[in-house]
Structures are given as C-alpha cells and as structure tokens.
Structure 1
Amino acid sequence: MRAAAVPDRPPVSRGSGSREARARESGGRVTTEPLTTPAALAERLPVTDAVAETVLGAREAVCRVLAGTDDRLLVVVGPCSIHDVDAALAYARLLRRLADEVADDLLVVMRVYLEKPRSALGWPGLLTDPSLDGAFAVGAGLRVAREMMVAIAGLGLPIACEWLSPVTPAYLGDLVSWGAVGARTVESQVHRQLASGLPMPVGMKNGTSGSVQAAVDAIRAAAVPHAYLGVADDGTPSVLRTSGNPHCHVVLRGGPGGPNYSEEDVRDALARLRAAGLPERVVIDASHGNSGKCHERQRAVVAEMAERIAAGEEGVRGLLLESFLVPGRQDVVAGRPLVFGQSVTDACLGWDTTAGLLRSLAEAVRRRRQTQPPASATSPVASEPRQHA
C-alpha cells in the first residue's frame, strides 16, 4: 500500500541562510526551562493559618502607621540581600525577640530581599543564583526562598521584599507584608502596573538620579487600575487586571547629589505629594545615597531621625536599615569559606549596633508621645490579593 501523496512544499533549510540561523547571528538567543507553577509551589509550601495572620496583620498595621492612625514607627531592617538561609534564620530569631521588646513603639519588618538589581553586573540574588556559582538554578531558588520565607513568617516576623521580576509576586507575594520598587525600576511602567495589584503597601524609591518626582509619579500610576500581561497562579499566560493600590508611598534614599533625608528634603517630598493629591507620608532609607554607601554612616542618619521624631516631625512614618549578623561585606571567592552572617552585596551594620539603633528609635517615639496625643486605632487596610482578574 502506497503512502498518501503529500503536497509539494519547499524544503526547510537549516543552513547558514535559514531564518533560524540568521536570527541567531543577529542577536541573543533564548532557551527555555520549565518551572513549577505558583499554585504548585504554594501547595508544596503552604501558608498556615498562623503565617497568614502574621502576613495580613502586618499589612494592616503598616497601613495604619503610614496613615498616622498608629503612632508607631515602621522599621524595615535586615540584610542588603539574603545569600545564606541559615544566617537569615539566625538573624530572624534575634530580630523577632527585639521586635517583641519594642513592639509598643516600633513596627519591625524584616528585610528579606531575594533579587539584587544591578546597574551593570554582579550576583543577581538568591532567587536566581541560590548556590552563588553562576548556575542560575531559578527553580531551586524559588523553592529555597519560599521555604525560608514560610519559616521566617512562622516565627511571627513580617517580611519585606523588593520586587524586581514582575513574575516573582505570583510565587511569593502571599508571604510579604511590605514591598518596594527600587530606584532602578521606579520609572518602569511594568513595575508601576505590578504595584497597582500587589496586596501590600509598596514603597517607591526616588530614582537613581535622585528624582523624588519619579517616585511621586509612580505612586500616582500605581493608585489606578491597570491591565497587563502576566502569569496566573496555574501558570497560564493571562491578562492581569488590577484595582489600584492606595497604600504606596515615597522612600527617600539619596542620590548622586547626596543625602535627601534633611528636614528641607522631607518638606519638599511632602509638598510634591500634596501637589499630586496624594497622602503626605515618606519613609527614610538610612543606607544607599543617604549614607554615602558607607554602612557605618547609617548610625548618623538614624541618630538625626530619632531626634527629629522625638521633636514631633510629621510626615516621616518609617526607616529602612541594612543590617546583618556581622558588620561590613565580603566577596565570594571560589574555595574560600564565607563569613557566617556577613553580606556579600552592600555592607551592612552588625547586630549589636542594629539593636542599639532600634532601641533609640523606640525611645524617640516614646518622647514624641509626651507632646502629641495618641493616634486613632482605625485605618484602611490592604489585605486580600488584588492582582489577578
């Protein structure tokens, strides 16, 4: 029996003149590697009732602090970026005890940053390169990151995270109580759309140029509904429709022109927010440009802010600090053991210094209460996810 006739068609060439070859020669190439879906990872590493209470309760508390109806100070503190899960958990246990000690005065959230934005090149973070060896085992990074975050939230400690990849929140967003859009991405339309659907308050940092207006514009953009391309929990490519996020706020982190945490800088930021019809509240990043990228100078930033808060300065609702178990930073060198609890990215304050600074901020809040009436106990909240259609 003869095979059925097939219509004539030109042969597909794989030679140097083929479309595939020409595409390879004219730019980069992409290979694909399947990943587990967000839903499957969440099923494997679920959010317990206790963890959910920590995450949602902290989101609500952050909203109250930002609104000024809770007179505590928000303090987001932790490593520049996590590279060692054991060290991160050791830090989290110390921070949990300190957070309990200062809970009447400070709302402490641990900085658990997993993606490291880069101006040029460098280690991209635990999520992308969990072994610090350039293997880029992203699937393993997602699993390790979620497992660690479940453990930290399981201690009763809220988590903060900077969002770099727009897909990451689908995998980890249910564990985060405060989010950030960084200086390198605050002008990105993709990140503004992303923030508009995130189920937590989001800090918008001033741009790498120092522009505070870029952060204000980002807050305006994130406050309204958007529709954009993304991935649903089951991994399906989808149109994501957002409701808008009313809990975004400016984070002042300095820039090429120097620090921007002075009283004049804060007044300028508040005036820009007022002109845009937005809530007047800012958070001060004590590191980066505000410390001249010198980790020890964070102490001076915190000391000045503590005095101003004690004197009743309005508008500043929180601070960010970079801190780890061991002060300073180290390079990753093949064959050389890493110092346990020391940053491999930006230099951080050590634990003893960190504890002293948080206690000084708590004291500043107590001093402020002596001259100001207590805040109301009500506020809007951000609790349920709004990202997916």
Structure 2
Amino acid sequence: MPTGAEKPNPSHLLPESGNPAVRRLPTPGELRAEFRLSATAAAGIAASRQTILDILAGRDRRLLTIVGPCSVHDAAEALAYGRWLQLQATRHADCLFVVMRCFIEKSRTGAGWRGLVRSPLPATCLASQADQAASPPTDAHATDRQQRPDDTAEGLRQARDLLCQLAEHGLPLAVELVSPLLWPYWADCASWVAVGARGVESAALREAASALPCASGFKNATDGQTDSARLAVATALRPSTVLTVDEAGVLVELLSRGNPLPHVVLRGGRNGDNLVQAAPLAAQLAVDGLPAALLVDASHGNSGFRPETQAGIVRCALELRRQGLPVRGLLIESYLRSGAQPLDCGAPGTTSIGQRLQAGLSVTDPCLGQAETASLLDEIAAALK
C-alpha cells in the first residue's frame, strides 16, 4: 500500500490550464461575434431549411441536390467553387434545389487527415495561397498558426469564416456532424446536416441531431445495411437531453425538440450499391411511422469511389423516383477539377505538411470536375421535366 505521501494523484487525468499540451479553444459565442451572419443571410438560411423540409415531405416537387467536394481543405477554392455552383443552381431552380456540400470535418475509421476544423492545412501547401506562402508571416501569432499541427482553434475560425462567406452569397450549405461538441460553432450556418456511415451508430451524434434546427440525413453503415440509419432516424426524431456546450463554452444539458425531419441516405456499402434496399426500406419506415424520405448518395459505396460512376447511380435513383419511391434528393461529389490527389500529412499532432497541393483537386475522395458536374445537372434537370 502506498504511504500518505505516495497516494495516487488523479489530477493528471484532467487538463490543467497551465499545461502547454492543453489549448484553449474559442467559445461558440466568441466565434459567432467574430464571424457574424447578416440578417439577410440568416433569413436565407431559414428559408432554405424550410424548402428542404418541404421537399423531403413531398410538398415541393423539386429534387434536393447536394453537390460539392468530399471535404473542404482550401477556403479560397471552396469560395470559387461556391460561386460557380450558385450559377448552376440558378439555371435549374425550377426543378432542382441545389445545396453546396461543405463538409468541414472528416470522419475517420483510422488515421488520416481530419478535415479543415481539426487539421487546417498550412498556407505553405495550399495552391490558392502560393503568393502569400512565399512571404514570411508578419506577426508571431501567424507564425504559431503555420507551425502548429492539428490547430482546432484556427480550424474553427477558418471554417466559421468560410461558412459565413458562402451564406452571405445566398448559397444553402450542407455540413457533416462529426464531433458532438463542435456543432454549436456552425449550426446556424447549415441548411442540411449529414451523419456519416461511421457515426450513424453513435448515441451522442444521434442526440446532437435531435437538437439541430435543420433536417438531418443519416447514412447507412459501411456494410451497406440500413438498420442503424433507420434506428438513428427514430432516435433523432424524439426530444432528448443532449450534452453540448453553450455560447460561453460551458458544458450544459440541453432538452432538444427533436430533429424536424430526419431521414435515411443510401450510400452503398463494401459490396457496392444498395439501391435495391430503397423499396423495402421505404415500406419499413412507413410501418414504423417514421419519415419515409430517402436521399441517394451517388458517391462512396454506391459508386465504388469512382467519380465517373456517379452518373449511373443518379440515373438509377431517378428511375426509382419515377417508380413512385420517395427519393427526394441526391448527393454528388464534385469539385473544381476531376479526380483527387494524395495528402501526406503524417501522424496527427506530430508533423506539418511539406507538399504543395495541386490547384482544384480534392484531397480526399475523387470528385467530378465542373464540366462533368454541369453536364450531369443538365441531365437530371431534363429528366425531371
């Protein structure tokens, strides 16, 4: 038995404010004050949320079309893509409701880049920042930001700034819910939220979705089965007590109202597409008294991660819709250029990125380029008329 002087000290289990390994994050309130949504942008977000609810409920016959990169890594490129996508949205506004996919966190099964929020890339590797990266930083804080890996505080700032800028352009945004603690930083900017295949069984994410003010889509699990997504819909629909942080960054227990319209996203699985499950899933959702709206992810398991296959998945989804199934929307992975590039980021928290990225290429899943995306949107619009 240890003596009195040798008793175990549990303090090492808790982060200490003076510990250099502990970094204080800005609070949601601080970032909302630093990067504010205008009244016009906030009204646009509220209107787009209602439009999405109307589409999912079948009151609006347009097709919800969520288009954009697998994950955002370069804010300047994302803004350029958003301006282009807005033009496409205007062209097809009579039959498509286009939302920009702006995923700022990356869900991982193992190691890898964790997205803009958790691992913002240094300017020295971003193609859009070539001129700025060639010059030394002008202040010590900028130097610290460039040299420090996995800087969530800086990532939150960059992500919040980007989302606000896109929202000010009037573009509805889709964001993925990855961390149950970070959604208060961006929820006011989102018009639609995804819970991915790796997070769909998480009780914390299901509870968080029940507190969100916009419709949330739950992807089926990576094995292609839909039971976990269906159960997630049932959980998110109900009011719940949710552990979260308030505007001051204090951990609180929130009584949620339930998600306004949770639904399932068919994204395929390890063995290929799972569109064959659309009919039995819709029937089971109806039996369970749950929203029967379905979205089809044209990428991921459905496409075998081959961007050129997305068009075929889209055609199959449109055929299911013609047959009377409640396919209310699509997810399409698209970026400035077709394809992808590898990102060598090393182990989390240990190394910075030394490579210079190519302009306009995804750093995660391969995407369709602008030309292919425009052609596919034209085809979808023509099929709906």
Q: TM-score, normalized by length of structure 2?
A: 0.86
* 1:359 is the counterpart of 2:378: yes
Q: Secondary structure at the match of 1:244?
A: coil
* 1:125 matched residue in structure 2: 115
* 2:331 matched residue in structure 1: 320
* 2:231 matched residue in structure 1: 217
Percent of residue pairs identical: 40
- 2:309 is matched with which residue: 291, 297, 303? 297
Q: Secondary structure at the match of 1:297?
A: helix
CA distance in 1, matches of 2:148, 2:106: 14
Alignment of 1:3-22 (within 5 A): 12=5, 18-19=8-9
**Cα displacement string for residues 119-163 of structure 1 (whole angstroms, at most 9, x for unaligned residues):** 111000000111268701111111111111111111111000010
- Post-superposition shift, 1:260? 1.0
The residue type equivalent to 2:338 in the other structure is P
- 1:343 is matched with which residue: 339, 362, 383? 362
The residue type equivalent to 2:74 in the other structure is D
Q: Determine which structure has the larger helix proportion and give its number.
A: 2
**Cα displacement string for residues 216-245 of structure 1 (whole angstroms, at most 9, x for unaligned residues):** 100101111111322111212211110111
CA distance in 1, matches of 2:281, 2:24: 44
- Post-superposition shift, 1:32? 2.4
- Post-superposition shift, 1:73? 0.1
* 1:71 matched residue in structure 2: 61
* 1:278 is the counterpart of 2:290: yes
Q: Secondary structure at the match of 2:218?
A: strand
The residue type equivalent to 2:98 in the other structure is V
RMSD: 2.1
Change (3 A) 1:178 1:23: closer
Q: Secondary structure at the match of 2:265?
A: strand
* 1:159 matched residue in structure 2: 173
* 1:175 matched residue in structure 2: 189
CA distance in 1, matches of 2:36, 2:72: 21
**Cα displacement string for residues 278-323 of structure 1 (whole angstroms, at most 9, x for unaligned residues):** 12210000001000111111121123334454x4533100000111
The residue type equivalent to 2:365 in the other structure is D
CA distance in 2, matches of 1:265, 1:134: 46
**Cα displacement string for residues 75-110 of structure 1 (whole angstroms, at most 9, x for unaligned residues):** 011000000111101100000111011011000000
* 1:87 matched residue in structure 2: 77
CA distance in 1, matches of 2:201, 2:10: 35
**Cα displacement string for residues 234-273 of structure 1 (whole angstroms, at most 9, x for unaligned residues):** 2122111101113000000011232012xx4210110121
* 2:278 matched residue in structure 1: 266
CA distance in 2, matches of 1:53, 1:21: 47
The residue type equivalent to 1:314 in the other structure is L
Does the CA-based 8 Å contact 1:307-1:364 persist in structure 2?
Answer: no
- Post-superposition shift, 1:326? 0.7
* 2:264 matched residue in structure 1: 250
**Cα displacement string for residues 186-243 of structure 1 (whole angstroms, at most 9, x for unaligned residues):** 1111111111110000001111122211111001011111113221112122111101
Alignment of 1:366-377 (within 5 A): 366=385
Does the CA-based 8 Å contact 1:213-1:272 persist in structure 2?
Answer: no
| Long gaps (5+) in structure 1 | 1-9, 367-389
**Which is worse superposed, 225-234 or 111-120?**
225-234
Change (3 A) 1:228 1:22: closer
CA distance in 1, matches of 2:260, 2:214: 10
Change (3 A) 1:23 1:266: closer
CA distance in 1, matches of 2:35, 2:302: 38
Does the CA-based 8 Å contact 1:88-1:341 persist in structure 2?
Answer: no
* 1:98 matched residue in structure 2: 88
Change (3 A) 1:134 1:273: farther
CA distance in 2, matches of 1:213, 1:39: 37
Higher-Rg member (1/2): 1
User: How many corresponding residue pairs?
Assistant: 347
* 1:329 is the counterpart of 2:340: yes
- Post-superposition shift, 1:30? 11
CA distance in 1, matches of 2:57, 2:117: 32
Alignment of 1:125-144 (within 5 A): 125-131=115-121, 135-144=149-158
The residue type equivalent to 1:73 in the other structure is L
**Cα displacement string for residues 50-81 of structure 1 (whole angstroms, at most 9, x for unaligned residues):** 21122111100000000000000000110000
